[in-house]
Amino acid sequence: MTLLSVENLSIQFETPDGLVHAVNDVSFQIGRGETQALVGESGSGKSQIALSILGLLAKNARTSGKILYNGRDLLAMSTRELNKIRAKEIAMIFQDPMSSLNPYMTIERQLNESLELHEGLKGDAARQRVIEVMDAVQIPDAKNRLRSYPHEFSGGMRQRIVIAMALLCNPKLILADEPTTALDVTVQAQIMRLLEDIRRDFDTSILLITHDLGVVAGACEDTLVLYSGKVMERAGTRALFAEPQHPYTRGLLRAVPNIHDDDGELHAIPGQPPNTMRALTGCPFAPRCVDAVDACFATVPELTGETRQRACIRPVEELT
């Protein structure tokens, strides 16, 4: 069953220098209890997609398309209606954990405030729920650590607290924006395992946003690859890794450092990042693509395919 359906979403920003085309005609669905990954390099539009779902885009943003949550269009909702959905139905884990924690308030007070605001829970009931979520995110000795301030926790523990905050109201969907970026690899793996446990135990759907293909590998059934705000490829994660079918995805996978590479070189994709100040007139990746032909610059490729999709006019067999 589809929980969230993003349909032909485009996001533009009005700036003194002109329109920024941040997200271009993006569509995807997330089913109940599914994890969907959104991968792309810095500036590819990942965070703006998440923010648009919760109606949190900056004032200079213009959107088109639909974001259907249980069949209702979030883009068309008033702030009042959205407020009923924020935190309770859809919760967000923001890119920087410290930005969602107040350094001057104990963890207990922050979690309590959130519970009171969204659920009207106070006193013992609130305390009970707070300890429940602290346990769910596996913070050792939660009861005694509630009176601590954010800076008294390690980065990994702080990220767990932010996840606990997202869990407080039992959301159906969690938008996790780079939940592991600031952490070392071991802690990264722990946080990913935690998100997987949450998905399984609470049947929560997760939109996992990351620039790191390594994070996605073991964690998501389905991955969507963005470039310059446009979907380049969408496939089951295993299939995507085993057999990438878009030149950009191929380039990305080659750029993942590999210990078995004996030349020891880093294979970055040559060329400049895309210019979002111009509307798309062709494939945004064409200027950097080793497989590009003249036609790639002339028409915006459509996303085609059933179980797996790609936006590329070149036949897969002919790619280098």
Q: List residues near Mg ion by CB under 5 A.
A: 47
Minimal CA–CA distance to 39: which of 209, 238, 256? Answer: 209
As measured in angstroms, the least distance from the Cβ of 205 to Mg ion is: 20
Q: Which does 13 bind (CB under 5 to 8 A by kind): ligand ATP, Mg ion, none?
A: ligand ATP
Q: Which does 40 bind (CB under 5 to 8 A by kind): Mg ion, ligand ATP, none?
A: ligand ATP
- Is 114 or 276 the residue whose CB approaches ligand ATP more closely? 276
- The residue with tokens 């004032």 is 59
As measured in angstroms, the least distance from the Cβ of 218 to ligand ATP is: 21
Q: Which does 281 bind (CB under 5 to 8 A by kind): Mg ion, ligand ATP, none?
A: none
As measured in angstroms, the least distance from the Cβ of 310 to ligand ATP is: 20
- Is 110 or 276 the residue whose CB approaches ligand ATP more closely? 276
- C-alpha distances in Å from residue 27, one per residue of 10, 53, 146, 158: 9, 13, 41, 33
Strand blocks (E) in the chain: 2-15, 18-31, 35-39, 61-69, 72-73, 90-93, 173-177, 205-210, 222-227, 230-236, 309-310
As measured in angstroms, the least distance from the Cβ of 52 to ligand ATP is: 9
- Is 129 or 230 the residue whose CB approaches ligand ATP more closely? 230
Dist. CA 315–CA 141, nearest whole Å:
56
Minimal CA–CA distance to 35: which of 233, 180, 221? Answer: 221
Binding site for ligand ATP (CB under 6 A): 13, 15, 20, 22, 40, 42-48, 58, 60, 95, 211, 276
Q: Which does 36 bind (CB under 5 to 8 A by kind): ligand ATP, Mg ion, none?
A: none
As measured in angstroms, the least distance from the Cβ of 216 to ligand ATP is: 14
Q: Which does 249 bind (CB under 5 to 8 A by kind): Mg ion, ligand ATP, none?
A: none
Question: Is 271 strand, coil or helix?
Answer: coil
Q: Which does 316 bind (CB under 5 to 8 A by kind): ligand ATP, Mg ion, none?
A: none
User: 33 is written with which tokens?
Assistant: 């209890």
As measured in angstroms, the least distance from the Cβ of 188 to ligand ATP is: 16
Dist. CA 130–CA 144, nearest whole Å:
12
- Is 129 or 179 the residue whose CB approaches ligand ATP more closely? 179
Dist. CA 41–CA 61, nearest whole Å:
21
> Degrees (nearest 5) of the Cα angle 109, 114, 118?
150
